Structure 1
Amino acid sequence: MGMRAAGWITMAIAALAAPQAVVAQVPSQASLDRLADTLGYRLTMVDNGPTCPAGIEGCFLTTITLTVPETLPADVPKGLALYFSFVNRLPLVESDIFTHRLINGDVQQLTLKPGATLRPGSTHEIKLWGVGSNFSKAFGMPNAYLVADGLEPRTIAATRAVIDPDTGLETLPFVAPMTDEAKLATKSDADKTRWLTVERAFAVQADRLAPEAKGVVILPKPAKAAQGKGKPVDLTRGVALTLNGVERSAVAPALAALGAPEGALPLAIRIDPAAVAKPEGYVLDAKASGIAITAHDAAGASHALRSLAQQAAFEKGRLTPLRVEDAPEYGFRGLHIDLGRNFHSRDEILKLVEAMAAYKLNKLHLHLAEDEGWRIEIPALPELAEIGSKRCHDPSEQTCILPQLGAGPDGTGGVNGYLTAADYVAIVRAATVRQIEVIPSIDMPGHSRAAIKAMEVRHARLTAAGKKAEADAYRLIDPADTTEYRSIQNYSDNTLNVCIPATYRFVDTVVDALAAMHKQAGAPLKTFHLGADETAGAWIKSPACKAMIAENGGDAGKLTPRFIERVTASLAAKGLRTGGWSDGMGHTETAAMPKAPHMVQTNIWGVLHTGAIREGHDQLNRGWDVVLSIPDLGYFDMPYAPHPDEGGYDWASRGVDPYQVYGFMPDNLPANAATIRNIHAEGKAIEDKPVLAPGHRVAGLQAQLWSETIRTDAQVDYMLFPRLLALAERAWAPAPWTPVYQAGASYEWGDRRVDAAKLKTGWQDFAGRVTAQLPMLEKIGVAYRVAPPGVRIANGKLEANSMFPGTAIEYRVEGGAWTRYAGPVAVGGAAELRSRSADGKRASRTVRVEPAR
């Protein structure tokens, strides 16, 4: 699932010795504050493929440059330390004056070597030899900070993130520009990735240019839609609503989106499963004399209204007569939001719920707990939210957990926080009236550090009060366990002990609390997602696990499957189905899982060219509900394109753009080799092993947004949209260019069995419909990504194009005024360009193009 190949590293520089004072003495806290305000700090990515130091394989080199101010206070505080964040493991840190020590997870420490000092005006370069790669400026973390004995910590001013007023997005001024493609774009000659420069973007977009939308603009594209002749359907007159078989409350949000007041135009909604057989299906017939909607259920009626609202907005309230017959092909059309790594607000989630409904997505997967944060109030266990939701500088972790991912020392800011029970109930209610199921996720037994640390605080509190039995009731570790391990995120203590009763008591308490919230919201809990992925090699030396390991043939690796099986049985007894990520779920014994159909949901997160088909087909053949969450399709924390100025993790894909999402073929996974390259930008065949047994089909698709690098709500919007529109299109119906699945058939890059011409034509139609939807997204409040233009200068003329038709482009030459681009224009030198949002209020990042040499 999320993160996945890189850990994060926060480091401390300790005991900076004071040189001779050059100013009068001031209070120590003021001295620390002044140093934090004036210390220079620069993070520079140097080389992704250097010659590695002895004993290190697959390294890359980054440097941090500290510039000491010319003037230092007389009483530089004792025990001075500097914490900062980094994204990969660091087997070696080289410095003339600092010594390195790993603390845990993100947190590492540098201390001054004996006799070393910092002098006014001095500069110190620290070489960080990381394992892996750093292809993006987004891997830098903000909020480096100073601490000192007995003083309040202070954030280094130079490392604060700022919001760009033109884009509305967070930027990190301390991260040096990445400009050397030869050293920074790849790790080896085998990697064929190239940055999507403006010139390359121009060429790609020139081949896909789409006309502006006309006719039916509904998204997702309906199965059947036809415009007729005759007088327009005048919604500006208002509507006279009649309902048959459905309560107004069940369609109220969709009616609100339509925006038509009470009036004269008849609008009749009727629920008739006999007339419309497919769940969520509908028939919409809009004529000048009135509008009739016949639907299978309330969801179908809402979908019809949403389609009507989209078309009405495009035609300014006076529609060409329209008939639509439609129903989804896939029953699961999901969006996953990670609140654990960095918190995102109740208001942001409610906004996304409305956007999901607008484009007919029906499953909201809320990832509520991670190593880096617990984000839901559980009344019986208050420490979970009080301690686990807050990151600050408290090495004892008695008031908060460690300040991972650049959270800073203060415990403030939007990356901290949690949903109260009332918040969660409000979200479930809002989703339910939009026919969206909320699926809560608490990842375990791995990815559980925030819960473990919060329950340790609870244990200490109750133990001090003499309540030992109560203290032990929810302790999630075996204190006698001496196992040493490191998770993929570099934690040594993030895994629940699956051999003790307290762990299962904890699971029951959390699930019961969530079920109570769902009941209060009027929407019974149906599915609980337990994660179950990426469990580190824990428990081997836990006395509590000795018997359980022996029962499993001495293989501690089997304890995670036993945990999943036990929790699944417990959930089934409560009438709940289990969700989990495919790697953990795939190791369970099929016989130990529920026999009833649809009691197990598995999310496939293997990468297309590695594990996706193996896991997907295996788990489909088990009869489980398989949801495709694979990164090549739906990891929207991956960058839009391979470019250092595009944010997001890139362990699975260097670029997931809307075209790739739109073109995906869920019903024939091997066929995607024809259109999607591997992580090294190579066109490679995909073998169909194991083959898919007849009679099985994926339940649907889900978009994922993991939030390690996503700290603001605006960044959430940017990473999700417009890619989520492409996923909504593909989750509604399979791609028409999909070849019929044939067991054992493999596909090559560019395979002619995949109709590339049909894909391109489909994209051009889709791109036009996306442009038509942008004002609706703006009305909802979604700050979607505005892609920078593709640009070239050819024969002295500046030419520009866009991913989506109708996008406004501006240019300026040599620092001149911004001018609207209307077509090729002669220029005498370099130019800067940017795109504009549909409402003109936001801009893309600014790009630069030089004349060809």
Structure 2
Amino acid sequence: MKALLLTMSLTSSLILGGCFSQQSESPSSLTKATQQDIDSIANHLDVSFELITNQPSEHCDPEQTDGNCFTASLSLTAGERITANNWQIYFSQITPIQSSDSDEFIIEHINGDIHRISLKPSYKGFGKDETKNITFYGSYWSLSETDAMPNYIISAPELNGQVISSTVAKIDSETGLEILPHVKTYTDNQHQFKRTTADQTTWLTSESLFERNQSTFEQAIDEQYIAQAIIPTPKQVTLSADPASIHIKKGIKVDFGNVEPSAVNAALTRLSSLGVDQQESGLPVVLSISAKPEQLTGSYQLNATTDQITIVAQDEQGVFYGLQSLASLVDLSSDTIPQIEVVDEPLFEFRGMLVDVARNFKSKAFILKLLDQMSAYKMNKFHFHLADDEGWRIEIPSLPELTNIGGKRCFDITEQQCLMPQLGAGIDVNAPVNGYYSVADYQEILRYASARHIQVIPSLDMPGHSRAAVKAMNARFEKYKQQEQLNKANEFLLYESNDPTKYSSVQYYQDNTINVCLDSAYHFVEHLMKEVQQIHADAGQPLTRYHIGADETAGAWVESPACKAFLATNDQGIEKADQLASYFVERVAVMIAKLGIEPAAWADGLAHTRTEKMPSVVQANAWGPLMWSSHSQSNDLANRNWQVVVSSPDALYFDFPYEADPKEHGYYWASREINTEKVFQFMPENLPIHAEFWRDRENQPYTADDTLQHDENGKVINKPLNEGVKFYGVQGQLWTENTRSDDMAEHKIFPRLLALAERAWYKPDWAVDYNYQGAKYDQDSNYFTPALEAQRNAQWLKFSQVLGMKELPKVEQADIAYRLPTAGAKIIEDKLHLNVAFKGLNMQYKDASNTWTTYQNPVAVSGKVEVRTISYDGIRASRSWSVN
């Protein structure tokens, strides 16, 4: 392997280097870089990233990542002669680079994802058009072209850093998708697409997608079903025997009855956007609340006839949902809806969506559009991830450093003015990836959510994932220290300056964890919670639940003097450093409970807390991969009578790719493909059942053993759910490490959000009930029978037709940049055949004529053929690909 890589590297150097008009300098003739040199290099240096192989080699460090690493090459080509030395390049690489090979350069991991290319003493400069290569070995794998980060920064001491222009991300004018010009296309199935030699994942092609789509695409459109369909599916629907339609777009006249108009105005606004306006002569719509003890929150009955429409509900939320169901019946291409009766109630009380705005900021306009769509599909919880290592996104007026420093990234090694540009953020503090919500912005979001019956659950992750807060409070400390106001300097200090502990977080930070043994840390949390609580109260949405985070805290505090003292003297039963994270969660949970705020946290942060030390109401987000038996932890937390919100990455992490293709955007640590159909297939009430029909991240079968189990010491390591215990809800997640724009965020969320809403609201007949006696599930256990599978597939066919024919046009009208599915394509008997996952979308092809043509029927083509789908308005295209 070493000889092969050496040959590949030499060949690459010869090809890329070519002939150049000027040779490298001798080291002694190089000069100290000036600002003009830095600016010139930024403008003329061409950087190219090439993945060579994901298969491990002898260069992999066996003590890191179990010996797994990938090999890649950075090629630097100088468009102009470079005679300056003492410059460096800072760049982001998600997994740490273990080592590098180059005669003239060295790569070092700095912190988090930031790395630095420095010049060796043997560096000779560049001749014009000369190429130099650096081979490096990065931890784990690189399976997607979007793993690479943009905005490499050239810098030198005492000079202004500049972004190297060849590494700036571009937006494809046809698709609206982000592309990285400096990344070479992945083409090698074995070396670039697969993790290991055992990886059985299949690279999706236009032909294989055609085969997958065909079973649904060839089915006739069920127009009657589409007309009566509501997403999410109601519990009970009865179509009137009277075939007469309701001419809904002639207008409606609303009788609010005992319903406060402000509680439903947002739903009426949505109806108006779909062509159903309020008019004095319109069809009567009679609203009323009739609460019954046996009915669930949000329950409603809708009866639509040609004479009038009535909505009777358990509460205002139910009336709102009844109006949203009426909106769901509306088809943009039709003026009528059927006469129908609906009796409906939600499956889960908690139907949520998380958006991470900390890693890469998202505009207020994006958030408001998302809340509109969430409410349209009866989702009611918005988990607002506002702070993490890379950014703090909510204004706290009494602590301006949190946003003045933590809300922006630039190139400041001291981090006294901003955070370093993790995640390829670049140097522009005004770039869209930076920013924060002012108090007024945040309160506008709260009021907007309240009007749509959505609870906002803020998350300011702690004690890990807290680098933005730690660095901001460090800057505050330095400011007041210089002013000799030591009490103020130490007031909210989150770190201990003489703590020699060396640790690395899951995201490879060495300084991202609040020291939980400092009283000032708890003073900070309490002060913060009171501030956020007041902001909520002033906006009319009381803060009743706060997500602590509490996940992925490892190795911190071991050598902390404050923690050693605490461990030696505390009366809390805390004896070891590895108990400190749980102690922090317990203490903060009780603290906020006294303020009337219910605590929520990720499952791993809660698993080792002591139930007797926690409040009675606790939300636990279960985010472990199903393939790694995470059902066991979910069971344990639910059996504590805590509110478990299923957040399984196997189906609910929307930052993951839709399909197994290196060009599909997203991370993939738990799954290579989460398309809308997979979300639809999810059974959130029965986690282990998925071992029967899903596979692990290498497409290998796995087993989910949900029987009572003990370890060798007799300790219970798995216990089924206690009889009658159920999960509290389900939540989708969008993490944004490499989601830099609003459009890319919408691309990842939609249309998966609609399938999430379906699973959160409606339990289908094909779902397998949970077995409280315990069972073992694998590809042969057959609890999910062929008959149930056939029933599920038939319902997916109907759901996909409703998406394509009725719902996605509404999503598009709302200016949502949803993902357009790629087109399936196959040459059959010398003719091109196309299909698509969602009927109703147009498809196009381009052959030797080099002109995009709308596909109608199988057609003869010549030369290279490319295919794509097109939005309903014809403006936006899917990613195109070729047909063999």
TM class, shorter-length? over 0.9
Correspondence list, 1:131-146, <5 A: 131-146=139-154
What is the aligned partner in structure 2 of residue 584 from structure 1?
Answer: 605
Q: How many residues in Structure 1 have an aligned counterpart in Structure 2?
A: 826
Cα deviation digits, residues 592-636 of structure 1 (max 9, x gap)? 1123xxx10000000011142011111110000000001012100
What is the aligned partner in structure 2 of residue 769 from structure 1?
Answer: 802
Aligned partner of 1:159 among 127, 152, 167 = 167
| Paired letter, 2:91 | F
Aligned partner of 1:538 among 556, 569, 583 = 556
Correspondence list, 1:120-519, <5 A: 120=127, 121-209=129-217, 211-212=220-221, 213=223, 214-228=226-240, 229-259=242-272, 260-264=277-281, 265-274=283-292, 277-314=295-332, 316-519=334-537
Question: Within 1, Cα distance between the matches of 2:660 and 2:619?
Answer: 32
Distance 1:694 1:240, change over 3 A: same
Aligned-partner SS, 1:319: coil
Q: Which moved more, 1:257-266 or 1:716-725?
A: 257-266
What is the aligned partner in structure 1 of residue 18 from structure 2?
Answer: none
Question: Within 2, Cα distance between the matches of 1:102 and 1:59?
Answer: 15
Cα deviation digits, residues 211-260 of structure 1 (max 9, x gap)? 44533121001111222215332223322211122210000000111111
What is the aligned partner in structure 1 of residue 752 from structure 2?
Answer: 723
Q: Which moved more, 1:207-216 or 1:55-64?
A: 207-216
Question: Within 2, Cα distance between the matches of 1:841 and 1:630?
Answer: 35
Question: Within 1, Cα distance between the matches of 2:293 and 2:109?
Answer: 66
Question: Within 2, Cα distance between the matches of 1:55 and 1:147?
Answer: 30
2:694 matched to 1:673?
no
| Paired letter, 2:98 | P
* TM-score normalised to structure 2 length: 0.91
Correspondence list, 1:91-110, <5 A: 91-110=98-117
Question: Within 1, Cα distance between the matches of 2:389 and 2:820?
Answer: 32
Correspondence list, 1:674-753, <5 A: 674-688=692-706, 689-742=718-771, 743-749=773-779, 751-753=781-783
Aligned partner of 1:33 among 28, 39, 63 = 39
Deviation at 1:119, TM superposition (A): 2.1
Aligned-partner SS, 2:371: helix
**Any unmatched runs of 5+ in structure 2?**
1-22, 707-717
What is the aligned partner in structure 2 of residue 8 from structure 1?
Answer: none
Deviation at 1:735, TM superposition (A): 3.3
Given that 1:18 and 1:118 are in contact with CA atoms closer than 8 Å, whether structure 2 keeps it comes out as: yes
Question: Within 1, Cα distance between the matches of 2:672 and 2:450?
Answer: 36
* TM-score normalised to structure 1 length: 0.94
What is the aligned partner in structure 2 of residue 547 from structure 1?
Answer: 565
Q: Which moved more, 1:701-710 or 1:153-162?
A: 153-162
Q: Which moved more, 1:376-385 or 1:820-829?
A: 820-829
Aligned-partner SS, 2:776: coil
Question: Within 2, Cα distance between the matches of 1:217 and 1:126?
Answer: 57
Question: Within 1, Cα distance between the matches of 2:211 and 2:464?
Answer: 45
Aligned-partner SS, 2:822: coil
Given that 1:100 and 1:108 are in contact with CA atoms closer than 8 Å, whether structure 2 keeps it comes out as: yes
Deviation at 1:314, TM superposition (A): 4.8
Distance 1:490 1:54, change over 3 A: closer
Given that 1:671 and 1:738 are in contact with CA atoms closer than 8 Å, whether structure 2 keeps it comes out as: no
Given that 2:103 and 2:122 are in contact with CA atoms closer than 8 Å, whether structure 1 keeps it comes out as: no
| Paired letter, 2:77 | T
Q: Which moved more, 1:682-691 or 1:709-718?
A: 682-691
Deviation at 1:542, TM superposition (A): 0.8
What is the aligned partner in structure 2 of residue 633 from structure 1?
Answer: 651
| Paired letter, 1:92 | S
Question: Within 2, Cα distance between the matches of 1:330 and 1:674?
Answer: 24
Given that 1:216 and 1:226 are in contact with CA atoms closer than 8 Å, whether structure 2 keeps it comes out as: no
Deviation at 1:181, TM superposition (A): 0.8
Question: Within 2, Cα distance between the matches of 1:806 and 1:545?
Answer: 62
Deviation at 1:703, TM superposition (A): 0.3
Aligned-partner SS, 1:115: coil
Deviation at 1:20, TM superposition (A): 8.5
Q: Which moved more, 1:745-754 or 1:516-525?
A: 745-754
Aligned partner of 2:78 among 62, 68, 74 = 68
Question: Within 2, Cα distance between the matches of 1:786 and 1:524?
Answer: 38
What is the aligned partner in structure 2 of residue 58 from structure 1?
Answer: 68
Question: Within 2, Cα distance between the matches of 1:484 and 1:407?
Answer: 26
Cα deviation digits, residues 107-146 of structure 1 (max 9, x gap)? 2222211132122132111112011101001111111121
Correspondence list, 1:740-819, <5 A: 740-742=769-771, 743-749=773-779, 751-754=781-784, 755-771=788-804, 772-814=806-848, 816-819=850-853
Question: Within 2, Cα distance between the matches of 1:425 and 1:18?
Answer: 59
Cα deviation digits, residues 66-85 of structure 1 (max 9, x gap)? 0122444x7x4x63221222
Aligned-partner SS, 1:455: helix
| Paired letter, 1:645 | K
Q: Which moved more, 1:80-89 or 1:49-58?
A: 49-58
Given that 2:393 and 2:407 are in contact with CA atoms closer than 8 Å, whether structure 1 keeps it comes out as: yes
Question: Within 1, Cα distance between the matches of 2:323 and 2:630?
Answer: 36
| Paired letter, 1:272 | S
Deviation at 1:103, TM superposition (A): 1.8
Given that 2:33 and 2:156 are in contact with CA atoms closer than 8 Å, whether structure 1 keeps it comes out as: no
Given that 1:648 and 1:709 are in contact with CA atoms closer than 8 Å, whether structure 2 keeps it comes out as: yes
| Paired letter, 2:421 | P
Question: Within 2, Cα distance between the matches of 1:537 and 1:248?
Answer: 54
Question: Within 1, Cα distance between the matches of 2:608 and 2:815?
Answer: 42
Question: Within 2, Cα distance between the matches of 1:786 and 1:674?
Answer: 30
Given that 1:665 and 1:735 are in contact with CA atoms closer than 8 Å, whether structure 2 keeps it comes out as: no
Deviation at 1:509, TM superposition (A): 1.4
Aligned-partner SS, 1:609: helix
Distance 1:46 1:341, change over 3 A: same
Deviation at 1:571, TM superposition (A): 1.2
Cα deviation digits, residues 797-845 of structure 1 (max 9, x gap)? 2111111112211001135211111122222333001101122221001
Given that 1:664 and 1:735 are in contact with CA atoms closer than 8 Å, whether structure 2 keeps it comes out as: no
Given that 1:233 and 1:290 are in contact with CA atoms closer than 8 Å, whether structure 2 keeps it comes out as: no
Identity score, percent = 39
Distance 1:320 1:629, change over 3 A: same
Aligned-partner SS, 1:200: helix
| Paired letter, 1:746 | K
Question: Within 1, Cα distance between the matches of 2:118 and 2:812?
Answer: 49
Given that 2:388 and 2:468 are in contact with CA atoms closer than 8 Å, whether structure 1 keeps it comes out as: yes
| Paired letter, 2:614 | M
Q: Which moved more, 1:190-199 or 1:559-568?
A: 190-199
Please give the root-mean-square deviation of Cα atoms over the aligned residues, in Å: 2.0
Given that 1:276 and 1:282 are in contact with CA atoms closer than 8 Å, whether structure 2 keeps it comes out as: no
Cα deviation digits, residues 74-102 of structure 1 (max 9, x gap)? 7x4x6322122212111111112112333
Distance 1:573 1:187, change over 3 A: same
Higher relative contact order (CA 8 A, sep 6+): 1
Q: Which moved more, 1:645-654 or 1:239-248?
A: 239-248
Distance 1:83 1:272, change over 3 A: same
Question: Within 1, Cα distance between the matches of 2:574 and 2:39?
Answer: 58
